Amino acid sequence: MSERIPIAIQREAEKLRRQINEYNYRYYVLDDPSVSDAEYDCLFRRLHALEMAYPQLVVLDSPTQRVGAKPQKEFAEVTHAVPMLSLENAFDDTEVLAFDRRVRERLQTTQVIEYICEPKLDGLAVSLRYEKGILVQGATRGDGVSGENITENIRTIAAIPLHLRGDDYPHILEVRGEVYMPKQGFAALNQQAQQKGEKVFANPRNAAAGSLRQLDPRITAQRPLSIFCYGIGMTQQGSMPNKHSEILACLKKWGLRVNAEVVVVRGIQECLDYYKRMGNKREKLAYEIDGVVYKVNHLVEQEKLGFVSRAPRWAVAHKFPAQEVWTTIEAVEFQVGRTGALTPVARLQPVVVGGVTVSNATLHNMDEIQRKDIHVGDTVVVRRAGDVIPEVASVIKKQRHAHVKIITLPKYCPVCHSAVEHIIGEAVARCTGGLHCPAQRKEAIKHFAGRRALDVEGLGDKIIEQLVDSKLVSTVADLYHLTKDDLLQLERMADKSAQNVLDAIEKSKTTTLARFLYALGIREVGEATAKLLANHLGELTALYSATVAELQRIPDIGPVVAEHIVNFFADKRNRDVIDKLLKANVHWPKVKVSKHLPLAGKTFVLTGTLSSMSREEAKTKLEALGAKVAGSVSSKTSYVVVGSEAGSKLDKAKKLGIALLDEEVFLELLLAR
Ligand code: D41
C-alpha cells in the first residue's frame, strides 16, 4: 500500500509533533505547562489518528511512538563508554567537613570551594545516549562498567525527550540521570495493585527499579516514571562548558529534565545549610530523596581531584538519617476504622526512626501479614517515611526464634464484640457492628468533623472520643444538640474552649453539598467522587432515589461506588441522621448542575466490531459524555471509531480526512473523561 499522503496532512502531522514536543518541554523541563491536559490530549489523539490513517507518516521519534516494542526475553549487556562512577557517603557534618578538607588539601588551596548542591533522588541511575540529538540507547548503571540495555523501556518515559532541542549539542552525548517514581504515582500504583490483589512495591525506589527492568515495555509505559539528569558521560564532537552547573544548564536547554532544587554555593558551610533546608523541605517534595549530593563545581578542579576506586574525590552524598531500623514486635492489636475495617497494629520495642521514637507500626491487613510472614516476636524492619504512619516493611528471618507466635484475625470485634467478617478475596476484615460499634462511631464523627468535610475546628479526636464514651454523642447529628454544659463535663474543657467548639459547630452548618456528601463517609466516596455527585445531581434528594445504573452514567462512577451509595441511602438509619442534620439547619448553596459534558458538540461514527464492548454500549457511553453518535460518515463527523473488520465507513472517513480512533485510543478517551 503506497498511498500518497496529502501534503496538508504531512504538514499537519509535523506541526502536531512540534507542538506536542514543545508542550512536553514546557511541562516536564520548565515545569510550566502552557496548555490544559485536555488540549494536549486532543492534539495527541489527532496525531495518533493521522498516523493510523497514514501509517507512512509514522517516524520513530514521533511522540506517539513511545511504546512500540514487543516483550523481550532478556536485556542485552551494554558497556558504558565512560564508566558510571559511584558516590562516597557522608553520614554527619564531621564527615562532610573532612571531605571539604581533603578537597582543599588536594587542590592546595585555603580558599572556599565552589560547590553545587543537588537533591539525591532515590531511584535508579541510568545513562541515555543521544546521537545527532536522537535518543538511541538507554542503559542501567549496572556495576558502573556495564549495565543492561533498557532502551525500549526508557523510550516510554514521557519526561525523557526522544530527540534533543536546539542544534548545539555534541554529536554523541551520554546523559546520566536518576529514573524515579514520584510519591503520588507510587501511592496510586500500589493502591491499584492492592485492589487487584497483586504484589505491592515496598517503596518508590523498588517500584522504579521493578518498572524499568520489565521485559515488556507496555508495562513500563503504564508506570508513572520520571527522571532528573545530573551529569554527562561520553561526549563526541561539540564543546561543553567548564562548570558542572553550566553543563546542567545545557542539559536543560536541550530538553532534559534537571532538578529545580539544584544550587551553586560557596564553601562547605553553605552545603550544610542546604542539607538542612532540604531536610525540612523533604516531605513536601513530589519525590523521595535520601540525602543531598555536593560536587565541586569547576571541572578543572574535578580533574585535578580525580577518583579513587570508582568514586570521584570531588563529590559526596550527604545522607539523611535512616528511615528504616530494626526492632521486635511485642504484640499485635487490631484497630477498628470508620468503615469497620480491622487494621492489625504491631506494638514495638520502641526505636528511633528518622529522628522520631516509634512504638507502633501498621501491618495493613492479614494478607500483608501473610505475604511478609510476620509473627509476634519477630525482628522486623520498621520504616517511617515522613508523615506517613510507620509500617513494618519486612521480617529479618535470620533472627527468628523458635517461640514466635502466629498472628490470627479475631472472631469478634475487640471494641464492640460484634462478629468480624472476612470476605474471601477482600484484603480487609470488618467489624459487622456498624454504627453500634463505638470505634466506628468515633471514626465516623472524626471524619465528619474533619477539615476537608464539615470542618468543625477545635473538635479534635480526643474530644470526640470522650463525647462518644460519655454517650453525649452517638451520631453526627447529635453534635448539633450539644450544650455548653455537655462540653464542660469533658476533661480539660474550660468555658472558653467549650464556647469555641460550639461556635465552630454552628459555623459548620453552612457548607457545600460536596463537603456534606463527603462528610457522610459513604464507602469509596472520597472528595473527588463527592464533587462529581454534587455537580451532576445538584441535589441531595436525587441521591435518595438514584439506582446503580443511573449513578454509573455519571463519568468516573463505577459499579462498586454506585452500589455503596445506593446501599447507604437505602439504610433508614442513615436517612434519619441526614434528616436530623437538615433539621438542625445544616445547609448549602444551591448547586449549578454542570451541563458541560466533555464531548458535547462532537459527532462520532462507529464502524467495525469492538472487542471490549458492543456498539450499543459504546453509543451509550459516548452519549453520556455529551457526544452525538451518527450512523454515517460526513464532513461533520469529528471522529470515526474503527473496530475490526471495518468497512465502507472507514474508506469514506479516510477520503474525507476524518480523525480515526482505534479501540485502544477510544477506550483511553472514555477513561480520560
Ligand atoms: O540524585 C542522585 N541519585 C544522584 C546520583 C545525583 N544527584 N548525582 C550523582 N552524581 C554522581 C557522580 C558524581 C558520580 C556523577 C549521582 C551518582 N553519581 C550516582 N548515582 C548512582 C550511582 C552514582
Ligand 1 pocket member 118 (CB < 6 A) = yes
Range of the domain at 482: 432-594
Q: Assess if residue 438 is contained within a domain.
A: yes
Ligand 1 pocket member 89 (CB < 6 A) = no
Q: Note whether 621 and 655 are same-domain residues.
A: yes
Q: Note whether 250 and 283 are same-domain residues.
A: yes
Q: Assess if residue 646 is contained within a domain.
A: yes
Q: Note whether 590 and 502 are same-domain residues.
A: yes
Ligand 1: centre distance to CA 377 (Å): 39
Q: Note whether 264 and 181 are same-domain residues.
A: yes
Residue of the CA atom closest to atom 22 of ligand 1: 86
Tens of pLDDT, residue by residue over 365-422, are 998 899 899 999 999 999 886 556 898 988 999 999 999 999 999 999 999 999 999 9
Q: Which atom of ligand 1 is nearest to the CA of 315?
A: 13
Task: Compute the mean pLDDT over every residue in the chain, rounded to the nearest whole number.
Answer: 91
Q: Which atom of ligand 1 is nearest to the CA of 86?
A: 23
Ligand 1 pocket: which of 80, 82, 85, 87 to mutate (most atoms within 8 A of CB): 87
Ligand 1: centre distance to CA 145 (Å): 15
Q: What is the DSSP letter of 360?
A: E
The stretches of 408-512 forming alpha helices (DSSP H) are 438-449, 461-469, 484-488, 495-508
Ligand 1: centre distance to CA 370 (Å): 37
Q: Note whether 466 and 484 are same-domain residues.
A: yes
Q: Assess if residue 370 is contained within a domain.
A: yes
pLDDT at 2 over 60: no
Nearest to 520 by CA among 578, 462, 601: 578
Ligand 1 pocket: which of 140, 178, 227 to mutate (most atoms within 8 A of CB): 178
Ligand 1 pocket member 293 (CB < 6 A) = yes
Tens of pLDDT, residue by residue over 209-224, are 999 999 999 999 999 9
Q: Beta 315-319 vs 89-90: how paired, if at all?
A: parallel
318 close to 271: Cβ distance less than 8 angstroms: yes
Whole-number pLDDT of residue 594: 67
pLDDT at 203 over 60: yes
pLDDT at 94 over 70: yes
Q: Note whether 473 and 622 are same-domain residues.
A: no
Whole-number pLDDT of residue 376: 97
CA distance 264 to 280: 19
Half-sphere exposure of 265 (CA within 13 A, CB side): 18
Boundary of a domain, candidates 594, 618, 643: 594
C-alpha cell at 153: 523501556
Q: Assess if residue 358 is contained within a domain.
A: yes
Q: Note whether 446 and 582 are same-domain residues.
A: yes
CATH number at 26 reads: 1.10.287.610
> Does residue 619 sit in helix, strand or coil?
helix
> Does residue 136 sit in helix, strand or coil?
strand
Tens of pLDDT, residue by residue over 10-46, are 999 999 999 999 999 999 999 888 888 888 989 999 9
**What mean pLDDT is predicted for residues 565-572?**
93
Ligand 1 pocket member 581 (CB < 6 A) = no
Specify the DSSP element, H or E, that contains 290.
strand 289-296
Whole-number pLDDT of residue 636: 87
CATH number at 621 reads: 3.40.50.10190
Q: What is the DSSP letter of 29?
A: I
Q: Assess if residue 77 is contained within a domain.
A: no
> Does residue 603 sit in helix, strand or coil?
strand
Ligand 1 pocket member 312 (CB < 6 A) = yes
Ligand 1 pocket member 121 (CB < 6 A) = yes
Ligand 1: centre distance to CA 395 (Å): 30
Q: Note whether 162 and 298 are same-domain residues.
A: yes
Q: What is the DSSP letter of 71?
A: P
Ligand 1 pocket member 231 (CB < 6 A) = yes
**Rg for the chain (alpha carbons), in Å?**
30
Ligand 1: centre distance to CA 87 (Å): 6
Ligand 1: centre distance to CA 386 (Å): 23
Q: Is 497 exposed, middle or buried (0-12, 13-18, 19+ CB in 10 A)?
A: middle
Which pLDDT band holds residue 673 (cuts at 50, 70, 90)? low
Residue of the CA atom closest to atom 21 of ligand 1: 125
The stretches of 213-357 forming alpha helices (DSSP H) are 217-221, 244-253, 268-281, 299-305
Ligand 1: centre distance to CA 317 (Å): 8
Q: Assess if residue 188 is contained within a domain.
A: yes
Boundary of a domain, candidates 343, 371, 406: 406
CATH number at 275 reads: 3.30.470.30
Ligand 1: centre distance to CA 399 (Å): 34
pLDDT at 596 over 80: no
Q: Which atom of ligand 1 is nearest to the CA of 231?
A: 15
Ligand 1 pocket member 437 (CB < 6 A) = no
pLDDT at 1 over 70: no
Tens of pLDDT, residue by residue over 340-380, are 999 999 999 999 887 778 999 999 999 889 989 999 999 99
Tens of pLDDT, residue by residue over 517-561, are 999 999 989 887 898 899 888 899 989 989 998 898 887 788 899
Q: Which atom of ligand 1 is nearest to the CA of 122?
A: 3
**What mean pLDDT is predicted for residues 193-207?**
82
Ligand 1: centre distance to CA 85 (Å): 8
Active site residues: 120
Cross-strand bridge partners of residue 311: 308
CATH number at 584 reads: 1.10.150.20
Q: Note whether 398 and 473 are same-domain residues.
A: no
Boundary of a domain, candidates 388, 406, 424: 406
Ligand 1 pocket member 147 (CB < 6 A) = no
456 close to 519: Cβ distance less than 8 angstroms: no
Whole-number pLDDT of residue 16: 94
Q: Which atom of ligand 1 is nearest to the CA of 123?
A: 3
Tens of pLDDT, residue by residue over 575-586, are 999 999 999 999
Whole-number pLDDT of residue 672: 65
Q: Count structural domains, the chain.
A: 5
Q: Note whether 337 and 290 are same-domain residues.
A: no
Give, to the nearest 10 degrees, the angle between helix 663-672 and helix 37-53: 170
Q: Assess if residue 355 is contained within a domain.
A: yes
Sheet of 628-630: strand order equals 628-630, 603-607, 639-642, 659-662
Whole-number pLDDT of residue 385: 65
Q: Note whether 281 and 312 are same-domain residues.
A: yes
Tens of pLDDT, residue by residue over 225-261, are 999 999 999 999 988 999 999 999 999 999 999 999 9
Ligand 1 pocket member 512 (CB < 6 A) = no
**What mean pLDDT is predicted for residues 488-499?**
92
> Does residue 441 sit in helix, strand or coil?
helix
**What mean pLDDT is predicted for residues 477-487?**
96
Q: Note whether 287 and 227 are same-domain residues.
A: yes
Q: Which residue has the higher pLDDT, 618 or 670?
A: 618
Ligand 1 pocket member 178 (CB < 6 A) = yes
Whole-number pLDDT of residue 193: 86
315 close to 88: Cβ distance less than 8 angstroms: yes
Q: Assess if residue 241 is contained within a domain.
A: yes
Ligand 1 pocket member 63 (CB < 6 A) = no
Whole-number pLDDT of residue 68: 67
